[in-house]
Structure 1
Amino acid sequence: MARTHEAGQLHAPGSSSIAYVPAWLTPPADVNELLPKLWARTVERGADGAVRVGGLSVAELAAEHGTPLYVLDEADFRGRAVAFRDAFAAAFADLCGGADVYYATKAFIATGVARWLAQDGLSLDTSSSGELELGLRGGVPGERIALHGNNKSRAEIEKALRAGVGRIVVDSLQEVDVVAEVAASLGVVAPVMLRITVGVEAHTHSYIATAHEDQKFGLSLSSGAAQAAVAKVLTRPELRLLGLHSHIGSQIFDMGGFEVSARRLLGLHRTVEREHGVTLPEMDLGGGFGVAYTSEHDPLGPEEIAGRLADIVARECLAQGIAVPRISVEPGRAIAAPSTFTLYEVGTTKDVDLDGGVRRRYVSVDGGMSDNVRTALYDADYSATLASRASGAPGVLSRVVGKHCESGDVVVKDEFLPADAGAGDLLAVPGTGAYCRSMASNYNQITRPAVVSVRDGVSTVLVRRETPEDLLSLDAG
C-alpha cells in the first residue's frame, strides 16, 4: 500500500520522480477534442471553437449567469432518466411485470428537476425532509417517494407518512419501533422496507461502499439483526412489510457485487416467506452504477445494467424456488453526473518544476472545493477542457485548482491543457452533475454557484446563485 502525504502523493516517501501522470492519462493528439462519454449529449464545439450546449455557447452562459456555473443539459438528463425507466421496465416485464426506478435525489435535486421526473414517470429516493419537500413541490406523488436514512427524526417520519410516501426504508432495530409509534399516532399503517447489510465488499472508495459489515448503514445479515428486524416488524400492526432493500455502494462498474447481494437478499426473502408465512411483494437492489469521469472509465449503459440484473434475479429466484418480487433500483449519479459540467473562469497560472525535469502547470479558477469537494474528499478524478475557444498550442501537464485557502483545494488533479490557456479563458469540467452542488459549501464565505438548465437555445435558472446577502442573513450578529 502506498503511503499518502497530506500535501499529495508526489510528496510521499519513496514516490517515483517519474510517476507524476496516472497510467490512464496520455497526452492528447488534439487538446480540443471532447470525449463523448464524458459530456452531455448536446455538448459540442462550435465553428468558432467554443463549447456549446443545448444551442448556447459557454460565453453566452457566462455573460448571463456568471461563473462558476453548473450547466445542466436538460435533454441529456431527461433522456438518461427515461432510458433507465424504459430499460428496467422491458428487462423485468416478463419476470415481475416491470421494475420501478427511484431517482436518488442525494445526487442532485431541485424543484424543476423533480418536476421533470414526475412528468417522466420516475419515482424518488429521498434521505431527508428537505429532499422530500423538493420532490413534493415538484409534483411527485407521495406514493412514488421513498424515505431513506440511518437516523431519521420523528419529524421526518411524520412528514413522510402525512405525505403518503410509498415506503420508508428502516435502517435499524430501534427505528422499527420509532416508525411504528409515529404511524400509530397518526392512525396509519406505514409501508416499510428493511435495509439489509449483505456483507458485500464493493469495488469502490471505502467512503462510498455501503454493504460491508463495519459501517453505519443497515441491518446485518450475518449477525442476525436482519432476521430480528423482520420478526419485530411483523409484530407491529402499525407496519406493513413490503420487502428487503440493499445498497452496496456507489461508482461501481463490476456487476459481481450485485450478483452476490441479490443472492443473499433473495435467500433472506425466501426464509421470511416460508418461516413467517408472509408474502414480500417488493425488493430494492439499490443503485451506485458507475459513470465516466475520465478516459479510464467505461460504464455500462442502462439496457446492459437492467439486462444483467434481470438475468441475476431470474436465475437466483429459479434456484431458490421463489416468485420474482417487484424489483426497484435507485440510480442517481448515472443520470445526473454526465448531464452537467461546471464552467469556470481562469485566473492565475504558474509552472512548478518537479523532480526528474517534469513541470506541472497550476491553473487557478474562480471556484474550487466549495463547489466540488469530491476530489479532496474521495480522491476523485475529473477531466477538463478549454471551453471558450479552440487552441493550437500543445497540451501541458496541468492541475486545476481553486481559490480557497487550502492546499487540498484541487478540482482536477491531472489533465493536459493547452499551453496558452490563461487569465480570462473559460474552463469546463464535465461530470459534475452528481454530488457537486449537493455537497457544496460556503468555505471561506464563498457563495455557491447557480445551476442552470439549457435546452433548445434557452437557459433556465434551476437554483439561483447565492449572494453575500444570503450569507449575512444567517449571521445573527
Structure 2
Amino acid sequence: MPHPLAPQLTDPADANALAEGVWPAGAERVDGVLHVRGASVADIAAEHGTPFLLVDETVVRERARRIRTAFEAAFAVPGGEPAVDVYYAGKALLTADLARWMRAEGLRIDVCTGGELAVALRAGVEPAAIGFHGNNKSVAEIEAGVEAGVGTFVIDSPIEVERIAAAAEAAGRVQRVRLRISVGVHASTHEFLATSHEDQKFGIPVAEAPAVVRRIRALPSLELVGLHTHIGSQIFDHEGFAASARRMLALHAELGADGQQLPELNLGGGFGIAYTAADSPEPIEAIASRLADAVRQAAGELGVAVPRIAIEPGRWIVGPAGITVYTVGTIKPVQLGDGARTYVSVDGGMADNARPALYGAQYSARIASRSSDAEPALVRVAGRHCESGDIVVDAEWLPADVAPGDLLAVAATGAYCHSLASNYNAAPRPPVLSVSVLPDGGALVRTLVRRESIDDVLSRDAGLDPAPAADPEPSNGAASA
C-alpha cells in the first residue's frame, strides 16, 4: 500500500534490488556491494573519495549505436545510403573522451557554446561533424565556429542571420545553416523542459519563417540546408514527435514550393529515460518507426520527397549510463502527521545535481556498500548545501538500518548533472569517472574529469594571494573511510 507521504511509491519487495531499465545494464551486487562492469563502487570510493559520477562506457556506446541503428533502419531508403544523421547533444554531458566515443559510434556532435565547441575540437572531432546551437551565440562564438569550419549553425533568430553571414563572408566561406522553428507542439513534459510552445525563447514562429528564409537565401555567404525543431525533453512516447514532424513537413514543403527544395530536416531530440521504476518510456525503436511513418505519410500527402532526417539525442544516450555515489553523513528521523520520514544527508547535493531543485526531478537510490535484511523505511535523500530545496531524492525506500558511512548510489545521473554542476557553498565539483571492460575481462576505471580541489575553487578569487602548494582537501567519503 502506498505510503501517505509518498503516494507515488509502492512498497518494495526488496529495498536492495536494482530496477531494470533504471540502473546501468552492467550494474549488479556482488556480496552485497554494488559493482559496475566488475568494478566495486566501494573500491572506487576508497581510491577516489566521494561523491563521484561513474559512467559505464559500454552502456554509452551501446545506446549510441542502438539509437543510430534504430533511426537508420526506420528511415532507410531501399538500396541507398542511411538517410539519417544523429547528433549527440553535448549539453547532456561532454568530455573529450565522451566526444571520441560518439564519433567512434558514428554520431556527430551538437554544441551550444564556445566552451562546448572547444571541448569537441580539442578532442579531435572534425569540425564538419559539429552542429552549433544556441539562442544567443555571441559574435565571438560565431566567428570561432565559422573559422573552425563547423558543419552547420542552427539559426535561432533573425539577428543571427546577419551575424553568421557576416562572419562567413569575412572568412571567405559559405556557411551551412538550419533555421530553428517554434512549431507550437506542446510536449507532455515539465514546463521548463518544453521548448516549442509559443511563449518560448527558442526558435522562429512558423508564420515568420518564410520571411527569414528569404533573407537567408538572399545572402551569398549562407546556404540554407534545412529546418530544425525541438519540442522538449524527457518525452516518453512518439505522439508529440510525430505531430511536430507533420507540421515541420508542411513548412518544409511550403518553403520548397519555388523549386528551392531543402535537403534536410532536423527533428531534434528529447527522448525520455526511466529515472524510477514507475517510468515507462516507449522503446526507441518504436518511436523511430512511428516517426518515420508520420514523416512518410506527411511527405506523400504534400507531394514532396522525404528529406534527410537529423536527430539530436543526449539524455537518452548517456543518462542511464551514469550513477552518482555519495557517502551518508547524518540520519534524522522526522515525525509528521501522516507518518515518519527519515532524512538521509549525503556529501553532495544540488551543486552536483541541480535537476531536483530546478524542476522536481525524481531519482532512485540504493545503499551501494552493502545489502541489508532490515525492513524498508521511507527516506528523503538530502544534500549538504544550505538550501531547504537541496533534495537529491525526494522519496525512496531504503533499508531502515541505513547509517552514517554507508555509500549511497543514485541511478540515471549521466545526463545534466555534471554539465549543470556548480561551486555553490564553495564546494569543489566531483570527478567524472568511467568504467570499461578490459580484454581479459577485468574492469578499467579511468578519470574523465578530475575532482576539483579547494585551491581550484579559490583560484579565481582575485582578492586572495596564490595559495601554497597543498594536497587537495579529502572528500567527506575519503575522510570517513
- TM-score interval for Structure 1 and Structure 2 normalised by the shorter chain: over 0.9
Unaligned runs of 5+ in 2: 438-442, 464-481
Does residue 24 of structure 2 align to residue 22 of structure 1?
Answer: no
Structure 2 residue aligned with 1:259: 242
Structure 2 residue aligned with 1:461: 447
Aligned partner of 1:370 among 351, 354, 370:
351
Deviations 1:29-74 (A, max 9, x none): 111111111011110011x111000111111110111100001000
Moved more, 425-434 or 296-305: 296-305
SS of 1:71 mapped into structure 2: strand
Structure 1 residue aligned with 2:467: none
CA distance in 1, matches of 2:149, 2:72: 24
Asked if the contact 2:242–2:290 (Cα under 8 Å) also holds between the matched residues in 1, the reply is no
2:461 partner letter: D
Structure 1 residue aligned with 2:426: 445
Structure 2 residue aligned with 1:426: 407
Aligned partner of 2:331 among 337, 345, 349:
349
SS of 2:167 mapped into structure 1: helix
Asked if the contact 2:320–2:414 (Cα under 8 Å) also holds between the matched residues in 1, the reply is yes
SS of 2:225 mapped into structure 1: strand
Does residue 72 of structure 2 align to residue 86 of structure 1?
Answer: no
CA distance in 2, matches of 1:435, 1:63: 26
Shift of 1:382: 0.6
Structure 2 residue aligned with 1:12: none
Shift of 1:161: 1.2
Deviations 1:434-468 (A, max 9, x none): 00000001000000000000012110000000001
Shift of 1:345: 0.4
CA distance in 1, matches of 2:3, 2:323: 31
SS of 1:103 mapped into structure 2: strand
Shift of 1:18: 7.2
CA distance in 1, matches of 2:234, 2:310: 18
**What are the equivalent positions in structure 2 for 1:215-294 lying under 5 Å apart?**
215-221=200-206, 224-275=207-258, 277-294=259-276
Cα 1:18–1:417, aligned 2, differ >3 Å: closer, same or farther? closer
Structure 2 residue aligned with 1:163: 148
CA distance in 2, matches of 1:201, 1:117: 30
CA distance in 1, matches of 2:36, 2:237: 31
Asked if the contact 1:150–1:172 (Cα under 8 Å) also holds between the matched residues in 2, the reply is yes
Structure 2 residue aligned with 1:381: 362
SS of 2:257 mapped into structure 1: helix
Asked if the contact 1:91–1:98 (Cα under 8 Å) also holds between the matched residues in 2, the reply is no
Does residue 18 of structure 2 align to residue 34 of structure 1?
Answer: yes
Shift of 1:98: 2.4
Structure 1 residue aligned with 2:109: 124
1:336 partner letter: V
Deviations 1:192-238 (A, max 9, x none): 000000011111011110000101000001xx221211111011111
2:385 partner letter: H
Does residue 69 of structure 2 align to residue 73 of structure 1?
Answer: no
SS of 1:280 mapped into structure 2: coil
Structure 2 residue aligned with 1:200: 185
Unaligned runs of 5+ in 1: 1-16
Deviations 1:256-299 (A, max 9, x none): 11111111111111111113x21211100000000000111111
CA distance in 1, matches of 2:316, 2:170: 39
SS of 1:377 mapped into structure 2: helix
SS of 2:393 mapped into structure 1: strand
Asked if the contact 2:237–2:287 (Cα under 8 Å) also holds between the matched residues in 1, the reply is no
2:115 partner letter: G
Count residues in correspondence.
455
Deviations 1:304-332 (A, max 9, x none): 22212111111111111100110010000
Asked if the contact 1:346–1:365 (Cα under 8 Å) also holds between the matched residues in 2, the reply is yes
Give the fraction of aligned pairs with identical amino acids, expressed as a percent: 53
CA distance in 2, matches of 1:27, 1:21: 10
CA distance in 2, matches of 1:303, 1:214: 32
Does residue 316 of structure 2 align to residue 331 of structure 1?
Answer: no
Does residue 298 of structure 2 align to residue 316 of structure 1?
Answer: yes
Asked if the contact 1:43–1:53 (Cα under 8 Å) also holds between the matched residues in 2, the reply is yes
1:355 partner letter: G
Aligned partner of 1:412 among 379, 390, 393:
393
Deviations 1:358-403 (A, max 9, x none): 0000000000110001001011111100110010001101000011
CA distance in 2, matches of 1:160, 1:447: 31
Does residue 285 of structure 2 align to residue 299 of structure 1?
Answer: no
Does residue 458 of structure 2 align to residue 475 of structure 1?
Answer: no
Asked if the contact 2:237–2:281 (Cα under 8 Å) also holds between the matched residues in 1, the reply is no
Q: Structure 2 length as normaliser, TM-score?
A: 0.93
Structure 2 residue aligned with 1:6: none
1:103 partner letter: Y
Structure 2 residue aligned with 1:9: none
Shift of 1:341: 0.4
Does residue 198 of structure 2 align to residue 213 of structure 1?
Answer: yes
Structure 2 residue aligned with 1:142: 127
Shift of 1:119: 1.5
SS of 1:449 mapped into structure 2: coil
Asked if the contact 1:90–1:98 (Cα under 8 Å) also holds between the matched residues in 2, the reply is no
Asked if the contact 1:77–1:339 (Cα under 8 Å) also holds between the matched residues in 2, the reply is yes
CA distance in 1, matches of 2:301, 2:236: 26
Deviations 1:165-214 (A, max 9, x none): 11100001111111111111111111000000001111101111000010
Does residue 38 of structure 2 align to residue 55 of structure 1?
Answer: yes
2:150 partner letter: V
Moved more, 155-164 or 326-335: 155-164
Deviations 1:147-170 (A, max 9, x none): 000011111111111221111000
CA distance in 2, matches of 1:337, 1:18: 28
In the TM superposition, structure 1's runs of 4+ consecutive aligned residues that sit over 6 Å from their partners are: none
